[in-house]
Amino acid sequence: MLKSICKNVAWLAVPLSLALGCAANRTSTTAEASGSYSSTPVLAPTSGEPEQRIYSTDPTANAAPSDINAPPPGANATDWGVAESIREKLTADPTLAPLGSKLIAEVGKDGEVTLKGVVKTPDEKQRVRDTISGVSGVKGVNDDQLEVGHSFKEGGRLDTMQPQ
């Protein structure tokens, strides 16, 4: 019985002492002492070392800002533009946007798009195909690798629906 009481006291004492220790380490500023809060806190330096910069302060060393929509190095600018148009078209459609990472559209040479992934129904597969076919720059759509079914997280299994 005494052992159980001591154990319970120890479990209560550790968090209480940590909380009191953290509160006791706070240094009060004049604003806190007067009971009002300031908009800018007074911060003490965390080190006695002088300030060091790890980036260049030379303005001529900075490169021109890159365009966020620019194609990555090695990508064809035309194919990249088609891929961005496909992404915008799919995310703009509220019925297709939830597909997210379950759908991959690879833009190949000459505007040929290969669809990969999983959709729930054959109608959804056709809607994806029709949507991508309508994007300018797309010359053809190959949906042979686009599966219809439900994927299960357990074991990565895919329950596909067979065409009738």
pLDDT tens, position by position, 14-35: 777 777 766 555 555 554 555 5
| Angle, CA 113 vertex, CA 126 and CA 125 arms, to 5° | 15
Q: Is the pLDDT of residue 159 over 60?
A: no
pTM, full prediction = 0.51
CATH of 77-160 given 1.10.10.10, 3.30.1340.30, 3.90.1170.20, 3.20.20.20:
3.30.1340.30
Give the pLDDT band of residue 57 (cuts 50, 70, 90): low
Helical ranges in 25-69 per DSSP H: 30-33
C-alpha span between 115 and 79 (Å, rounded)? 15
- Which of 137, 148, 146 has the alpha carbon at shortest distance from 105? 146
pLDDT value of residue 26? 57
Tell me the two tokens of residue 36: 């009002």
pLDDT value of residue 156? 55
